[in-house]
Amino acid sequence: MSLLLATDFAPDTLSAWAEQLRTALPGVPVLTERNPTTDGDVTMALVANPPAGALSGLPRLGFIQSMWAGVDKLLRDDTLPAEVPLARMVDPAMSAAMAETALWAVLSLHRDYFRYAEQQRAGVWQQLPQRRADDVHVAVLGLGEMGRAVALRLAGNGYFVSGWSRRQRVMVGVDTCYGDAALADLLRTADVVINLLPLTVRTHSLFDERRFSQMKRGAGFVNLARGQHVVEAALLAALDNGRIGRAVLDVFHTEPLPPNHRFWVHPQVTLLPHAAALTDLTSATAIAVANLNAFREGRPVSHLVDRTRGY
């Protein structure tokens, strides 16, 4: 029984993960590459952006643990063994980091800190109107682990928060709604829209010309989920015509973002290099090991992916 690490990590990062796992899983060989002499012993895999085919042809593979919360890229890999259970990473440390990024983005939009930064560069001394937090309506789309953490952090800081999901969810302190009709109504009233939806067939290109036209004029748009949720040309058009006041973007169709992309230079775009919530080595290792041990001992594993739903 051995564990295969299948990632696109740089050698030093891969080495750090392997060292942590060997310490946490004494007696379990931790492999960082395929070898015909050891492939027959691999029963578990820990993956992060594995190359296509990295897990094919492993006759005893019984469990795959992802290091990332999102598994859309994994599910698009036709070589991923369809019969092997797959679990996604649900790490409170990542959820807390995501909530911090969302709070920074909302505070910066609410208190006009992005505009003050522009004024500084232009040498302009001018106070802007100041709103109360409870006058700012924030819509959080997607109420999974991260979405709930974000909604609760914002509500705890005094914002009027509404959460939207495909299916009905109930949260204390946060108004919730669900379904397509409710989404259109929510977009018309929200001052800031935060996307934390999983990427599925239904949510791919969700934010297109029609959706942006439904949003409150001048609203802020914060995408912390996946670049493929957004039709980039439609977002740029909405920014150019003032429908969207500012976009804060952490994810993109192509990463790294190409150097000639308009997002780099658009005056109403603030971008991050997919850094809103990075995987924490220590906490993620502990969570992965707990799931791996559950599999080894024949106990139920946590956060299994429903491949028909895409998350």
Catalytic, 274? Answer yes
User: What residues does each domain of the chain span?
Assistant: 2-91+279-296, 92-271
Q: How far is CA 103 from CA 97, 241, 248, in A?
A: 10, 26, 12
- Domain 92-271: give its CATH code: 3.40.50.720
If you average pLDDT over every residue of the chain, what do you get? 97
Block means of pLDDT (10 residues each) for the chain, 311 residues, are 96 96 97 96 97 96 96 94 96 97 98 98 98 98 97 98 95 94 97 97 97 98 98 98 98 98 98 96 96 98 94 91
Distance CA(196)–CA(165), nearest Å, equals: 10
In this chain, the answer to whether the domains covering 2-91+279-296 and 92-271 adopt an identical fold is yes
SS3 18: helix
Distance CA(9)–CA(49), nearest Å, equals: 8
Q: Is the pTM of this model over 0.85?
A: yes
Q: Which listed residue (137, 166, 226, 229) is catalytic? A: 226
| Residue 89: half-sphere exposure toward Cβ, Cα within 13 Å | 26
Q: Which listed residue (115, 266, 274, 296) is catalytic? A: 274
pLDDT of residue 113: 98
Domain 2-91+279-296 has CATH 3.30.1540.10: no
Distance CA(263)–CA(273), nearest Å, equals: 12
pLDDT of residue 110: 98
Could you please report the per-residue DSSP string of 72-139?
A: HHHHT-TTS-TTS-EE----HHHHHHHHHHHHHHHHHHHTTHHHHHHHHHHT---------GGG-EEE
Catalytic, 226? Answer yes
CA nearest neighbour of 164 among 131, 130, 188, 135: 188
The sheet carrying 2-7 orders its strands as 30-31, 2-7, 42-48, 63-66, 86-87
